[in-house]
Amino acid sequence: MYKKILVPMALDHGISPQTLEIARALGGGSAEIVALHVYEMPQGSVSVYLDKDAVAEGFARAREVLMEKLKGLPDVKPELVKGHTARTIIDYANDHGFDCVVIGSHRPGLTDYFLGSTASRVVRHAKCAVHVHRRA
């Protein structure tokens, strides 16, 4: 069983209940489980049109949604960080000594072969085991 499991959560995909359940099973009831949401800051020219209050409001809303998703799960620690999704998940897992990442994924399409999905990047670059859950 794993001792420290990271569960990256996209707050709008609806797959987090399954990935959290998988993490609990892989942890055997004794693992430290961290639910991580990466808040992507507005990029490029979009950031010019947003004031700091709008960005802060978006970050606060992401925190609210994360906490709502984890309501009733006292054994799961919430973490909210800013950054590029795939790179931040990989760095967070590597820097904090996780021995497993449980991540949800969609079925890959043609664009995934050229750009790479978040899950595939995590699989390629994380220094720990990665369990990918695909929605049926």
Does residue 106 carry a pLDDT above 90?
Answer: no
Question: Which of 104, 127, 124, 135 has its CA nearest to residue 23?
Answer: 104
- What average pLDDT does the segment 93-114 reach? 81
In DSSP terms, 82 is beta-bridged to: 39
What is the total count of domains within the chain? 1
- Residue ranges making up the domain that contains 60: 4-133
pLDDT digits (tens, 9 = 90+) for 40-71: 877 666 666 677 787 789 899 999 999 999 99
> Is the pLDDT reported for residue 115 higher than 50?
no
Strand order across the 32-39 sheet: 76-82, 32-39, 4-8, 100-105, 129-134
| Residue of 105 and 5 predicted with greater confidence | 5
CATH number of the domain bearing residue 50:
3.40.50.620
Name residue 77's beta-bridge partners.
34
